């Protein structure tokens, strides 16, 4: 679908639940009304995903529904054909012409989305305890991946931030981009340090087929339950990770919202109910994962910047969106540096010099 088609669908009287507002990310258009959410994948290709063909989008919609029903079975209703019925845009199995496919979900309460709770200072310590319990429980029941994480693959994933080096230079300046380049240089040497530990962690069941994108926008904290959603469907290797990686991702976003106390609560409760971090190498791994996840969030902010420069989304101020992307990028860059500087870099540099 094209952007104008999405807005026609959102304003169609035949849309289930009624006319919808539209949100836009670097990968999707999101239609929201009072009853449903419709997620439509953009026909884009980036360094980490290819949605250009309709058949690809249909496949990944089905994959996303299957994977996310592990966490929120009552939310993901299924893959929805999108197209024309009686001359107007509609959704469903009785269309006269199918143009594309999307995912239909039940609408959740955005006020209970973790990022909104944090932004509005409405998250309590008891909520964080329940979040830790839910995360640990999901990790316990997740499918285990016997093959250990490859350190060089971790370094390559970390280096993917180079795909937005132009945007980072524009947003944060050449010094920031140069510093990230230094990190990319040292990352392969750093992660090689943990090869044996990663093997032992996988052998103990701590590499899982998990979520892969567990930031605060993908969590809802209801009084009765914690729901995770929007797990990565387009890259199995990003989803099949160490449990510390997912714990680190949530911790980064708690830190982003200036709640280091909640980071400690999350960490302590998680390790209490699902202990898996007994060595100094485990803590180093956690810091590296946190640095990597901060870089992922920085990359997303840079992609939003790129999108706004190229084609601003409808219904908002371009200047405001660019300012927000700059602010988010700056904060995640700050967190990235904080985690990186706590890693054993001096020791790695010394060993490298000796060799």
Residues facing residue 23 across a β-bridge:
30
Residues 10 and 138 in one domain: no
Domain boundary among 87, 107, 127: 107
Question: Is 90 exceeded by the pLDDT of residue 317?
Answer: no
Q: Is 12 left (phi over 0), alpha (psi -120 to 50) or beta?
A: beta
The more confident residue out of 355 and 49 is 49
CB 269 within 8 A of CB 133: yes
Contact partners, residue 102, CB within 8 Å, separation at least 6:
38, 39, 40, 41, 61, 79, 80, 82, 91
Fill in the DSSP letter of residue 91: E
DSSP secondary structure letters along 212-240: S---GGGEEE-SS-EEE-----S-HHHHE
Structural domain total, the chain: 2
Q: pLDDT band for position 354 (50/70/90)?
A: low
Q: Do 156 and 254 belong together in one domain?
A: yes
Q: What's the confidence (pLDDT) of residue 46?
A: 84
**74 and 165 belong to one structural domain:** no
Residues 102 and 124 in one domain: no
What pLDDT sits at residue 319? 81
Same domain, 101 and 140: no
Could you tell me which residues are beta bridge partners of residue 106?
36
Residues 335 and 259 in one domain: yes
Across the range 144-171, mean pLDDT stands at: 95
What digits encode the pLDDT tens for the residues 96-107? 999 999 999 999
Shared domain for 185 and 62, answered yes or no, is: no
What is the per-residue pLDDT for 127?
Answer: 98
Q: Are both 142 and 249 inside the same structural domain? A: yes
Q: Which of 89, 107, 125 is the last residue of a domain?
A: 107
Tell me the per-residue pLDDT of 97-138, one tens digit each, with 9 for 90 and over: 999 999 999 999 999 999 999 999 999 999 999 999 999 999
- What is the average pLDDT score of the chain? 94
pTM of the model: 0.90
Q: Supply the pLDDT for residue 106.
A: 97
Q: Closest by alpha carbon to 190, among 335, 355, 333, 351?
A: 351
Please write the tens of the pLDDT for every residue from 263-305.
Answer: 999 999 999 999 999 999 999 999 999 999 999 999 999 988 8
Look at residue 313 and tell me whether its pLDDT is greater than 60: no
CATH of the domain at 339: 3.90.1200
Compute φ and ψ for 344, nearest 5 degrees. Answer: -75, 60
* Helices of type H across the chain: 3-10, 54-68, 114-119, 125-141, 151-159, 165-172, 174-192, 195-203, 236-239, 243-256, 260-273, 280-310, 318-340, 345-354
d(Cα 178, Cα 125) in Å, to the nearest integer?
Answer: 39
Same domain, 50 and 120: no
Structure tokens, 239: 């989803």
**Domain ends where: 60, 82, 107?**
107
pLDDT the model gives residue 346: 77
pLDDT tier at 25, thresholds 50, 70, 90: confident
pLDDT more than 90, % of the chain: 86
What is the enclosing helix (H) or strand (E) of 39? Answer: strand 36-41
Phi-psi category of 230—alpha, beta or left, where left has phi over 0 and alpha has psi -120 to 50? left
Higher pLDDT, 24 or 291: 291
Q: Is 293 found in the same domain as 206?
A: yes
Rounded CA separation 46/238 (Å): 15
Q: What confidence category does residue 316 fall into, taking pLDDT thresholds of 50, 70 and 90? A: low
Give yes or no: residues 159 and 31 share one domain: no
Q: What is the mean pLDDT of residues 69-85?
A: 95
Is-contact 71 227, C-beta < 8 A? yes
CB atoms near residue 174 (< 10 Å): 11
pLDDT 10s digits, 210-264: 999 999 999 999 999 999 999 999 999 899 999 999 999 999 999 999 999 999 9
* Confidence category of residue 310, pLDDT binned at 50, 70, 90: low
For the cut 80, the answer to whether the pLDDT of residue 172 exceeds it is: yes
Q: Provide the domain limits for residue 52.
A: 3-107
Same domain, 145 and 54: no
């Amino acid at each position: 679908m094209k952007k104008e088609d999405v807005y026609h669908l959102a304003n169609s009287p035949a849309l289930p639940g009624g006319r919808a507002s539209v949100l836009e990310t670097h990968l999707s258009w999101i239609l929201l009304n009072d009853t449903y959410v419709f997620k439509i994948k953009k026909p884009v290709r980036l360094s980490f995903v290819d949605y250009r063909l309709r058949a690809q989008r249909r496949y990944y919609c089905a994959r996303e529904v299957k994977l996310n029903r592990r966490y929120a079975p009552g939310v993901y209703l299924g893959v929805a054909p999108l197209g024309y019925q009686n001359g107007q845009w509609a959704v469903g199995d009785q269309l006269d012409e199918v143009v594309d496919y999307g995912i239909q979900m039940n609408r959740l309460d955005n006020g209970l989305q973790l990022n909104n709770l944090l932004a509005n200072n409405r998250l309590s310590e008891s909520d964080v305890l329940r979040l830790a319990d839910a995360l640990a429980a999901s990790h316990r029941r997740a499918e285990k991946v016997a093959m250990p994480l490859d350190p060089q693959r971790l370094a390559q994933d970390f280096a993917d931030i180079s795909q937005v080096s132009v945007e980072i230079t524009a947003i944060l300046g050449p010094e920031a981009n140069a510093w990230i380049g230094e990190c990319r240089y040292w990352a392969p040497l750093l992660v090689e340090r943990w090869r044996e530990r990663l093997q032992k962690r996988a052998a103990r069941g701590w590499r899982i087929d998990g979520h892969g994108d567990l930031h605060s926008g993908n969590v809802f904290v209801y009084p009765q339950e914690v729901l995770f959603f929007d797990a990565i469907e387009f890259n199995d290797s990003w989803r099949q990770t160490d449990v510390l990686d997912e714990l680190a991702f949530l911790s980064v976003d708690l830190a982003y919202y200036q709640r280091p106390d909640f980071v400690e609560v999350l960490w302590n409760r998680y390790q209490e109910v699902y202990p898996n971090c007994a060595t100094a190498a485990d803590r180093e791994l956690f810091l590296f994962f946190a640095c990597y996840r901060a870089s992922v969030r920085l990359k997303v902010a840079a992609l939003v910047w790129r999108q706004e420069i190229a084609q601003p989304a409808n219904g908002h101020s371009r200047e405001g969106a660019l300012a927000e992307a700059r602010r988010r990028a700056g904060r995640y860059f700050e967190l990235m540096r904080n985690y990186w500087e706590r890693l054993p870099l001096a020791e790695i540099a010394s060993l490298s010099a000796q060799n």
